[in-house]
Structure formats: structure tokens, C-alpha cells
Chain A
Amino acid sequence: SQQGEEDPQALSIQEGENATMNCSYKTSINNLQWYRQNSGRGLVHLILIRSNEREKHSGRLRVTLDTSKKSSSLLITASRAADTASYFCATEGNQFYFGTGTSLTVIP
């Protein structure tokens, strides 16, 4: 079973635009992580935010966490064609769960 659900399921934007994807989860967590997966490949860790943090930045990535709403968002600024991939949130509490993923396409 998967605890997280992501929205939207698919997103298509022009290069240079910002991309925002959201993750909702069901139970209490210790931390939430975001991963990227290029087609048919393994996952790559992007960023981790702890349950006592509200916002975190890493390069062109900005992650927010609202534990009262059990939700998180990932913002990718100034998108590039190379950002085309699937993005997954993953929650770590008593168990580790991945979300359903958002498929991002950045059009050159």
C-alpha cells in the first residue's frame, strides 16, 4: 500500500517556467523526502525535510511541509528539459512509503 498521493499525476510546462507538485499523506511522519526517477531508471534523492521543519531549499528546489494538513509541495524553479522525469514523495514514520508520483515534462 502507498501512503502518499501526489497531485497532479502529470504536468507539462515550457522550459523556464516553474513546476509545482503536491504530496498528501495519511499518518504522522518523522521526515518527508522527494526523489526523481528518469524513465526506466533507479530513483535519485533530491531533498529531505524533517517533521519540525516548514521549508527547505536546495538549488532550484524548494520544499514545504505542513504537518497539520499532512501535505508537502515541491517547487522547481526555472525548469530545464533535463528536469523531465517522475517525481515521488516518500514519507518515513513507522514505515517507509512512496507516493504515486508526478510525471513532469519540460518542453524545450
Chain B
Amino acid sequence: EAEVAQSPRYKITEKSQAVAFWCDPISGHATLYWYRQILGQGPELLVQFQDESVVDDSQLPKDRFSAERLKGVDSTLKIQPAELGDSAMYLCASSPRTGVAYEQYFGPGTRLTVT
């Protein structure tokens, strides 16, 4: 069964350093999502792509976060510089398309710890 791949699974970084996460969605899925999940809370949408275009990045802290999906396939989320409050699980999800009722398929996530 096809799965969403994410790497790394765990990342420890010092504050003010740069960090990047990678996501490879299920083949053929046009829509890709990045979420941040703080321990004990629900996922919060950071950015949504339809193919290579950003559909929604209203909750993305653009002063330090950036996301790209250059060829409309895999995606990278970057944080520079990292802050202590960025410690969280970063989840990537994909779905066949947006605008209709499709479920999202989630990857295993990247656990980020900022020290």
C-alpha cells in the first residue's frame, strides 16, 4: 500500500539554526499539506499545495518558515532560524485533490526538538 514518506523522523537542533523537513506524497496525489502538531493538541495547517501552487499559507509564520513543492511532487518545509517554540511534530499529508471530499493520508511525521 502506498504511503506518505517523511524524513528525518527525528531532529534535534539548537535555536537560531536552520532545519529542513522533506515529504514525498503518495504518487498521483495533487494536494499536499504541512501541519504542525504541538504535544496534546490537534494538527494545525501550515501550508497547502495544489500541484506546485500554494493554496493556503495563512497560518505559516513567513518570517521564519518557508515551503516549496517545485515540481508538484515532493516538498520541503524549512525553518530559519529555529526557535524554542518550534518544538513540535511536523506532519505531511496528501490527498488526490482539493475542493472535494477526499480523505488525507498522513506520513509518520518529523519530531523536532529545539534546544
- Tell me the A residues contacting B by CB distance below 8 Å: 1-2, 4, 30-31, 33, 35, 40-45, 48, 50, 88, 92, 95-101
Contacts and interface: CB of A to CB of B under 8 A. Distances in A.
B56 A95 contact: yes
A100 B43 CA distance: 8
A62 to B, nearest CB: 18
A94 B84 CA distance: 31
B111 A42 contact: no
Contacts of A31: 101
B108 A2 contact: no
A4 B106 CA distance: 19
Given A33-B103, A48-B101, A88 B43 contact: yes
A2 B59 contact: no
A98 B59 contact: no
B107 interface: yes
Contact of B41 (A2, A30, A50): A2
